[in-house]
């Protein structure tokens, strides 16, 4: 009996969906737009996360030493830094290595190279590149360095400068952009969700009004409340599923077209590759939200206008 009723409810839901063609189309279009925006936010979030991760990998605290700094003191500082729980890696660059890298960076700048040749000795000092386990820990590392006698407290300070604050500005700006984008996306999503619920709500209300005579007959023959309400709720679920399928299909050519661009501008992420590799997760989110939106809108309309 249960399966018979379920089949009848599903069939009635499809009939109502097709019978209210233009109204159903309006609901599907608005819900598709909503799911498209939500899906777009998923992709934008993935791009921002990849960009932030890439930037974090490149950011470090660089400690530049004066040219007269004894190598033993530098290695003592390196050992002290490696002992900090916040530090994941410390890389030493000698004066000679710094000079080689400088020449390579300016290999096409003959004026700079000629000026370097005129100097009697290497003008570059050694340096340490310090990577933290978490971005938030760089400040405590910089505080440790600034508070040491090797920086200013001793009679012969060996540290020339620390570049922490320049890198901190870049990370903070990117984080701020990401947070602002997420907040803006949330506002747009809430607005479209409300619009989808409202339109689907009115579509189901119209379907209830159109089927009022059939509902009266079902009441007279003793149909259960679930049997009468079921087709309308299922109709809303159909809206969600159709909208989700359309959204997923539309995303394929868009991400395919944008894939090379995102890989060029953001380095390590191709949005089309992300879409195909995470299709199961994207599918579950989009279809799940579509079904929830459709079912919720229909349930609210049935509860408000269908008194059985």
Q: Which pLDDT tens digit goes with each residue over 164-220?
A: 766 667 667 766 776 776 677 677 777 767 776 777 677 666 666 665 666 666 666
9 within a domain of the structure (yes/no): yes
Q: Which pLDDT tens digit goes with each residue over 87-134?
A: 888 888 888 888 788 788 777 777 777 776 777 777 888 888 888 887
Q: Which two tokens stand for residue 98?
A: 């710094």
Q: Say if residue 292's pLDDT is above 70.
A: yes
* Element spanning 8, H or E: helix 2-19
Q: What is the pLDDT of residue 145?
A: 77
Q: Which two tokens stand for residue 305?
A: 């206008």
**What residue numbers bound the domain in which 35 lies?**
2-55+171-305
Q: How many domains does the chain have?
A: 2
Q: Which pLDDT tens digit goes with each residue over 2-24?
A: 555 556 656 665 566 666 666 67
Distance between CA atoms of residues 257 and 259, nearest Å: 6
- Please list the residues that pair with 132 across neighbouring strands: 87
**Does one domain contain both 24 and 134?**
no
Q: Among residues 99, 124, 157, which one ends one of the domains?
A: 157
What pTM does this model have? 0.63
Domain with 71 in it: what CATH number? 3.30.70.3040
Q: Among residues 105, 131, 157, which one ends one of the domains?
A: 157
Strand positions, DSSP E, 26-167: 61-65, 87-93, 127-132, 159-162
- CA-nearest of 246, 288, 197, 223 to 12 is 223
165 within a domain of the structure (yes/no): no
């Amino acid at each position: 009996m249960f399966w018979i009723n379920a089949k009848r409810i599903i069939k009635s839901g499809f009939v109502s969906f097709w019978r209210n063609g233009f109204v159903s189309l309006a609901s599907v279009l608005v819900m598709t737009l909503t799911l498209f925006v939500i899906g777009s936010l998923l992709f934008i979030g993935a791009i921002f996360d990849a960009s932030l991760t890439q930037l974090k990998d490149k950011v470090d605290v660089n400690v530049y030493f004066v040219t007269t700094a004894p190598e033993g003191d530098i290695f003592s500082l390196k050992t002290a830094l490696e002992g900090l729980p916040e530090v994941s890696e410390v890389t030493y660059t000698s004066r000679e290595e710094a000079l080689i890298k400088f020449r390579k960076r300016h290999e096409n700048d003959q004026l700079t190279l000629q000026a370097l040749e005129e100097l009697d000795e290497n003008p570059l000092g050694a340096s340490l590149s310090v990577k933290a386990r978490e971005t938030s820990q760089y400040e405590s590392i910089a505080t440790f360095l600034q508070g040491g006698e090797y920086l200013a407290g001793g009679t012969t300070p060996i540290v020339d400068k620390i570049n922490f604050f320049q890198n901190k500005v870049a990370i903070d700006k990117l984080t701020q952009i990401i947070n602002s984008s997420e907040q803006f996306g949330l506002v747009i999503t809430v607005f479209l969700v409300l619009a989808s619920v409202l339109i689907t709500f009115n579509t189901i209300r119209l379907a209830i009004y159109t089927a009022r005579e059939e509902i009266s007959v079902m009441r007279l023959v003793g149909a259960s409340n679930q049997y009468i309400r079921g087709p309308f709720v299922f109709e809303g679920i159909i809206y969600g599923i159709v909208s989700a399928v359309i959204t997923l299909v539309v995303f394929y050519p868009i991400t395919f077209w944008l894939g090379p661009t995102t890989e060029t501008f953001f380095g390590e992420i191709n949005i089309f590759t992300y879409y195909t590799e995470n299709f199961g997760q994207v599918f579950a989110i989009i279809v799940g939200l579509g079904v929830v939106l459709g079912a919720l809108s229909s349930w609210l309309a049935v509860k408000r206008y269908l008194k059985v």
